[in-house]
Amino acid sequence: MSFNNLDQLYRQVIMDHYKNPRNKGELEGNDLKINMNNPTCGDTIQLQLKVDDGKISDAKFIGEGCSISLASASMMTQSVKGLEVDQAMKLSGIFSDMMQGKEYDEEEFDLGDIEALQGVSKFPARIKCATLSWKAMEKGFKEQGEA
């Protein structure tokens, strides 16, 4: 088998996040706790966020899932930390564009490790794995906005 396609999906940095997830665990004194399931496959994630003055001061997650969903959650918590809520939502939109294989804004944010997930867009069945933690964040802020 040529591992080429797979290598694009499972980049080294993704495997590193999968094997050594950043920000995994409970976040004491969290302001937001959001549960999100991927009902088609059984992946679950709980995202915990701390927000001070409209800024995400800390983010952690617990959950079970495949390499892509856990690596993505690890990267996501890393990249939204320190962002204003509306900035984080904007970044989520950029990530969603990237997953759908659309043109996306590479300038506004330092995408860092997240960009390694680009290869997922070529595996349509796995896009939901990558977006699970981002959807959890969006759900949390949307519900908070409504409350």
Partner 1 sequence: MMNVQDIRKQFPILHQEVNGNPLVYLDSAATSQKPAQVIDAVERYYKEINSNVHRGVHTLGTHATDAYEGAREKVREFIHASSTEEVIFTRGTTTALNMVASSYGRANLSEGDEVVITPMEHHSNIIPWQQVVKATGATLKYIPLQPDGTIALEDVEKTVTENTKIVSVMQVSNVLGTINPIKEMAAIAHRNGAIMVVDGAQSTPHMNIDVQDLDCDFFAFSGHKMCGPTGIGVLYGKRQLLEKMDPFEFGGEMIDYVGLYDSTWKDLPWKFEGGTPIIAGAVGLGAAIDFLNEIGMDNIQQHESHLAKYAIEQLSTIEGVTIYGPEKRAGVVTFNSDEVHPHDVATVLDTEGIAVRAGHHCAQPLMKWLEVSATARASFYLYNTEEDVDTFVAGLRKAKEFFGNVF
Instruction: Give the interface with partner 1 as residue ranges (CB under 8 A).
Output: 1, 3, 5-6, 9-10, 12, 15, 19, 40-44, 64-68, 123, 125-126, 129
In sequence order, what DSSP letters do the residues of 78-140 get, joined into one string?
HHHTT-BHHHHHHHHHHHHHHHTT-----SSS--GGGGGGGGGGG-GGGHHHHHHHHHHHHHH
Please state the closest distance from residue 14 (CB atom) to partner 1, in A.
Answer: 9
Closer to partner 1 at the Cβ: 66 or 89? Answer: 66
Conformational region of residue 77, where left means phi above 0, alpha means psi within -120 to 50, and beta covers everything else? alpha
Please state the closest distance from residue 31 (CB atom) to partner 1, in A.
Answer: 27
Please state the closest distance from residue 78 (CB atom) to partner 1, in A.
Answer: 20
Closer to partner 1 at the Cβ: 19 or 142? Answer: 19
Closer to partner 1 at the Cβ: 125 or 147? Answer: 125
Q: What are the C-alpha distances in Å from 56 to residues 15, 53, 85, 137? A: 26, 8, 6, 11
Closer to partner 1 at the Cβ: 80 or 133? Answer: 133
